[in-house]
Each structure stands twice: as structure tokens, then as C-alpha cells.
Structure 1
Amino acid sequence: MAAGTGLRERKKAQNRQSLHLAALRLFLEHGFDNVTVAQIAEEANVALTTLFTYFPAGKVALVFEQDEDRPAALRQAVQNRAAGTDVIRAIEEFMNSRLPFDTEDKHSRDVLELIYSTPQLRSYVRAKWTDCEDDVASMLAPCQPTAPAASLHALALFILECPDLAAREPSPHEALSMLLDNLRRGWGLEVSSS
């Protein structure tokens, strides 16, 4: 039974990966708007229904290999941060491990260019961050115990817009750090570096 479950999970992961890679290949070659989900399914050698089983959000989601529960992953990263690391620094470290910052090779930079030149994809990426607003506001609350909820939500939204802003810069990691440092200072959340 365990072996069957393992095989099933491996097959699911293989199908998901095949669809993702086929979609990227076609999008980069022909442009996002010029490729259909049927073409992607055919390229990956799976049924169209299989494509929607793995990527219910359709064509937009195919660009992204994993469809994590971003708020849960972010909460976990903040909860598991090293001692002496403030909440915003933990969020920055988490952001640096996700798009648009994991672009070490040319292929990744090409994918980033695809995302930021396609309004639907850019909107999807931004929503992945801004959907974390309530979670980030609750993480910030202990840092500003007397702050009104609206202030915490505003700071959360400013933080969550930083990946989109930083991605447009030549050095996204540096831009993200600068933006978050400015927010930290502006909101009086400076902590010692020790």
C-alpha cells in the first residue's frame, strides 16, 4: 500500500512537472497569449482534464511549478525565524526565496521577463503576495501593540507590494532590502542588528 501511494505521488509530481515545463517552453517560444491549454496538454502528453486537475487556475498557474499555500508558508517562516531576527527581516528572507528573486540563471530571468511583461501573470504573482495581508498584519501586531488595525494592514500591504517593485530593479535583492529597511524605519520598527 505504501509503495503504491509513493508511486502515485511520484506520478502526480511527474505530471505536474511535465505540464509546467511544457507550458514554459511554449510560452517562452510563442508568447503567453498565443498558447492554449490544449496545446500545453498535448505537448505534455496528458489529457486536458489532467491539466486542470493539477492546475485548476488554468493557464496562468502553469507558469509556477508549485502552488504553495503562501500565507501558511509565510507564517511558518516567521514562526521559525532565528532568534534576534525581526518579523520584517524574516519576511524579507522568505521573499528572497520566491519569485521574482530566485533568478540565478538565464532561464529564470527569461521566465521573470515573461511574468512581468504579461499582465495576467504579473497580477497573479502580486496576488500571491497581497493575499497574505491579514497574516502579515497579525504578525506585525506584537511589534506595534498600540497601532490601530488599519495601520498594521497598511504596513502589511506596503511590505507585500515590495516584491513587485523590487523586481523591476537591476538588483532585486538589494532593492527589496532597501525598501523594507525604509518601511522598518518609517514605522519605527528598527531593531538592533545583534
Structure 2
Amino acid sequence: MADDTGRRERGKQLKRERIFAAARDLFDEFGYAGVTTQQVADRADVAVGTVFRYAATKAELLLMVRNEDVRHAVRRGLDEAGAVADATEAVQTALRPLFDTAAQRAADAAVYQRELMFGDANDPYRADGLAVVAELEDGIARILTGGRQSAAARSAARAIFACAHIVLVRPSGGERFDTTDLPRQIAQIVAGYRAGAADTAAHPTAN
């Protein structure tokens, strides 16, 4: 019985890996808009119903595939930011790999961001993607505080990601992918956070 269960689980894992690889290859080749779930099933050599056991929609397939890319970009950015002394420049460094990854397929990145914000609340791949966003925001907050955590730093980090999200999602409305104004926005948020932190330090009992 245990051997049968183990074989079934291994079979499920192999199918998931084939579906993941097929979806990744097809999205890379044709973009999200140019791919159907039937094509993913054909490339993975499974029935389309099998695909839906692992991802209920094409959007979930995109989340399943791109979560790994985004997680890698976020962790690389935060690691590189650790070598940058200035907080504003460090935040920009932390975000750079995310934007470099998104720029390769801006339209797909926009769909990914839209699904993160407004997708099915019960989708485990969406939950996984939101966990990556939380990891990024936590890392940005630690950059602002020098390694500590604070409510003000977390609020500033969320504001910074909100600005980043707007840049990433714009191509879904037909606008071009453009990060030109983002450094100024980041600098303003960091300056506002620093001013608030300085005021709190100067008047600790009033805050």
C-alpha cells in the first residue's frame, strides 16, 4: 500500500513538472496571450483535464511559472542591495532585477501583477506570489531601518512596492514599460520615512 501511494505521488510530481516545463517554454516562446491550456497539455503530453488539476486557469499557470522567476529576482536584488550603503540607492538596487526580469516580457509581467492583486483568493499560486511580495517588502523595510523592523518602515516599503506595481502593470493598459520616474518616487518615500523617523527620535513621547 505504501509503495502504491509513493508511486502515485511520484507520478503526480512528474506530471506537475512536465506541465510546469511546458507552460514555461510556451510562455517564453509565444507570450501569455499566445498560449492556450490545450497547447500546454499537448506539450506536456497530458490531457487538458490533467492540466486543470494542477492549475484551474491559464492565469494560474502563469503564476505557477513566474513565481519562481520573481522569487529569484527578489532574492538577488535584496542580496545585491546589502552591499549598497545609501538607503535610496539600495532600494533601487533591490528592485532592479525584478524590473529586468519584467522587461523581458512586459505584457506577461503586467498580467502576473494583475493576477497577484486581483486573482482568485483561493489560488495557492497567488498566495505563493504574495508571499514573495511580502518578502520583498520586508527586505525593503530592513534596508530603511538598517536591519530592524518598524511599522513606519513597513508602511514605506508597501508604498514603494505600490509604485513598482503601477509601473509593472501599465503595459496591460497599452502603455509602454517605463521605469523613468520610479527613482524619484522612491527617493520621495525614503525622504518622507527618514523625516518621520527623525521626528520620532526627537520627540519620542509625542509619537
Q: TM-score range by the shorter chain?
A: 0.5 to 0.7
2-structure distance, mates of 1:170, 1:95: 18
- Computing the radius of gyration over CA atoms, which structure comes out larger, 1 or 2? 2
Residue aligned with 2:98, SS: coil
Q: Does 1:68 align with 2:71?
A: yes
Unmatched 5+ residue regions in structure 2?
1-16, 119-125, 196-207
1:121-132 maps to which residues of 2 (within 5 A)?
121=116, 124=126, 127=130, 128-132=132-136
In the TM superposition, residue 114 of structure 1 has moved relative to its aligned partner by 3.8
- In structure 1, which of residues 176, 180, 183 is the aligned counterpart of residue 186 of structure 2? 180
**Structure 1: which amino acid aligns with 2:93?**
E
1:138 is paired with a residue whose SS is: helix
User: Shift in Å at residue 154 of structure 1?
Assistant: 1.0
Amino acid at match of 2:64: A
| Amino acid aligned to 1:173 | T
Q: 1:110 and 2:107 equivalent?
A: yes
1:149, CA displacement in angstroms? 1.7
The percentage of aligned residue pairs carrying the same residue is 15
Aligned residues: 158
Q: CA deviation at 1:109?
A: 3.2
- Residue of structure 2 aligned with 1:133, choices 133, 137, 150: 137
Q: CA deviation at 1:40?
A: 1.4
CA RMSD of the aligned region, Å?
4.2
For residues 178 and 171 of structure 1, the distance between their equivalents in structure 2, rounded to whole angstroms, comes to 17
TM-score norm. by structure 1 comes to: 0.57
Displacement, 1:112? 3.6
Q: What is the deviation of 1:151?
A: 1.0
1:152 and 2:156 are equivalent in the alignment: no
Hey, which of these two has a bigger chunk of helix by percent? 2
SS of the residue corresponding to residue 167 of structure 2 reads helix
Separation in 2 of the partners of 1:182 and 1:133?
A: 17
* CA distance in structure 1 between the partners assigned to 2:78 and 2:97 by the alignment: 14
State TM-score, norm by structure 2. 0.54
1:93 corresponds in structure 2 to: 93
Per the alignment, residue 205 of structure 2 pairs with none
C-alpha distance after superposition, 1:81-125 (max 9, x if no partner): 3xxx41331221232322477426xxx233245445xx4255559
Unaligned runs of 5+ in 1: 1-12, 190-194
Q: CA deviation at 1:140?
A: 1.7
